[in-house]
Chain A
């Protein structure tokens, strides 16, 4: 276990369904992220939360709706998705205030493999 747990690991949904992805970390980190990983493309940063506040929305379509109720939990609510949204969705977390060490290292979960039919 990496310290970041994602559920479900696999999800198949129709375009009219509503589902949610869950991410949980108990590393004491204060920043959480959603990334999208598609074949042959760089990882795409979707959302960033710092201390439960959204600080980054990388032009993500509104059919993806994030929620961060506390610093340990992050959700990605999905509705009316398209087949091109099929991908591996990775959650990550990191501590803040690491400027003195020069790098803010991310810890990733194992991902949720989403297939949209």
Chain B
């Protein structure tokens, strides 16, 4: 079985500051890890995914995440926040490429002008 924990349901950062959204996972098999973003009144959109290749994964819109097995973490970062980054971010885990994704409860990111 797999699970994810997103620390912090709300995160606020100033425009231009570092964005760090935390995700820890639990998995009984090698995990596949994902970050999805949901903008207001829209569905979820894939930001990036880890599939056992490079541990540092680069995604769209300048986001990246690093898989750290020793820490069971997959934190999402962006060096410089932009107002358009305001959204809800979901971490998700699956195992062995099957269709069952387990999502976290989400982190709402607010950007302060």
Dominant SS among interface residues on chain B: loop
B98: which of A6, A104, A107 is its contact (CB, 8 Å)?
Answer: A104
Say whether B46 contacts A102, CB under 8 Å: no
A108: which of B45, B49, B98, B104 is its contact (CB, 8 Å)?
Answer: B45
CB of A98 closer than 8 Å to a CB of B: yes
CB of A45 closer than 8 Å to a CB of B: yes
Say whether A42 contacts B103, CB under 8 Å: yes
CB of A66 closer than 8 Å to a CB of B: no
Chain B 1-60 residues near chain A, CB threshold 8 A:
9, 32, 34, 36, 41-46, 49, 51-53
Chain A 62-117 residues near chain B, CB threshold 8 A:
90, 92, 94, 96, 98-99, 101-111
Complex-state Cα separation, A48 to B101, whole angstroms: 11
CB of B99 closer than 8 Å to a CB of A: yes
- With A42-B105, A43-B90, A99-B96 in contact, do A105 and B9 touch (Cβ < 8 Å)? no
Minimal Cβ-Cβ distance residue in A for B103: A43
Minimal Cβ-Cβ distance residue in B for A106: B101
Q: Which residues from chain A sit less than 8 Å from chain B, CB to CB? A: 2, 4, 6, 31, 33, 40-43, 45, 48, 50, 56, 90, 92, 94, 96, 98-99, 101-111
